Amino acid sequence: MFIDEVKIYVKAGDGGNGCVAFRREKFVAKGGPSGGDGGRGGDVVIVSSEHYNTLLHLRYNPEHKAERGGHGEGSNRTGADGDDREVKVPVGTVVYDWHTHEQLCDLNAPNQRFIVSRGGRGGKGNARYAKPWHQTPTEHEPGFPGPELTLRLELKLLADVGLVGFPNAGKSTLISRISAAKPKIADYPFTTLEPNLGVVQLPEDRTFVVADIPGLIEGASEGHGLGTQFLRHIERTRLLIHMVDVSDITGRDPGHDFDVICNELTSYSEELGAKPMIVVASKIDAAQDPARIKAVQKLAKKHKLEFHKISSATGEGLEELKEAIALRLAQTPREAPSEA
């Protein structure tokens, strides 16, 4: 099951209590106070890991508490620090405060660590309060509580290329032909209900990662269809492949489809609408009317976008498209990972 958003509760460890003790040893006339400090509570640390690709493991394990610090002891012995609690998440996870909606961190590279809740400080023992004018203090300090937070974790897939288009535009078939991904393919809308990733290999050890997201419809940015539920997964991509079905089967106007998807991307975010794009006329093997292909080509030229026509069923144009994608990616620098 692909889970890309969860709510979790985290609590750092409480600090240990300070100790009240007095030194009592043979041949030591005046031992004095010897109560040690409490240990520091453990931190809760969010860690990005390549061993996870979904947040499913956190949906059924929503509470994460670090260990509390040990209490101080006599002979000025400080309590042990509590162990940290690591919460492992997939690379690409964004952490938000559930109540304020503030973004706390964006873990977009492997093995990044972010302390989301620091452990409480240990309390002072009575030895800390000894003064020349106060030689037998009984004061001590309780440990400070560890902060607790409710967090929203949101996963954004890391891919180089994002496939967008209407349902049944041929996105899943394309990713299955150019990579080893095996998405569900059928002749009805919304066959794809969760994003799929595929790695495309080219000669000279060149590779890139493609993300296929569920199809968009008019009003998706307002929540229609699957809405914006999966659009976040192409926010990190460097290049969009806008697939337009030019076959005669749908009965839709391919030019209208092109405009609708462009508007939905821009409505979701200006950054997404401004991403580099290649327009692809798909299913040309089922296009009886050449005017449908030319209409899409004309729109691509109008918007100064690169245009390709393919048939995933026959393989026509696939190699040229793969090379074109690799070339555009080489010209588009990657964003540097943010500091966690």
Residue 289 has a pLDDT of 86
Q: Which of 246, 187, 185, 188 is nearest to 212 (CA)?
A: 185
**Sheet containing 113-117: order of strands:** 85-90, 44-49, 113-117
Is the four-CA dihedral 292, 296, 301, 307 of positive or negative sign? Answer: negative
Categorize the per-residue pLDDT at 229 as very low, low, confident or very high, splitting at 50, 70 and 90: low
Residue 335 has a pLDDT of 63
Residue 180 has a pLDDT of 78
Which tops the pLDDT comparison, 38 or 262? 38
Q: Are residues 22 and 72 in the same domain?
A: yes
Q: Are residues 29 and 47 in the same domain?
A: yes
pLDDT tens readout for residues 279-330: 999 999 888 888 989 999 999 999 999 999 999 889 999 999 999 999 999 8
Residue 149 lies in a domain: yes
Residue 30 has a pLDDT of 73
Residue 222 has a pLDDT of 54
Q: pTM value?
A: 0.74
Categorize the per-residue pLDDT at 251 as very low, low, confident or very high, splitting at 50, 70 and 90: confident
Asked which of 121, 155, 189 is the last residue of a domain, the reply is 155
Residue 250 gets which letter from DSSP? S
Residue 338 lies in a domain: no
CATH number of the domain enclosing 205: 3.40.50.300
Task: Evaluate if residue 159 carries a pLDDT over 90.
Answer: no
What is the H or E stretch that residue 264 is in? helix 254-268
Asked which of 131, 155, 179 is the last residue of a domain, the reply is 155
**Structural domain that includes position 29:** 5-155
Average pLDDT estimate for 118-124: 96
Which tops the pLDDT comparison, 172 or 79? 79
pLDDT tens readout for residues 31-87: 789 999 999 999 999 999 988 888 889 998 999 999 999 999 998 999 999 999 999
Exposure b/e, 246-257, CB count within 10 A at least 16 = b: bbeebeeebbeb
Residue 261 has a pLDDT of 87
What span, in angstroms and rounded, lies between the C-alpha atoms of 174 and 282? Answer: 9
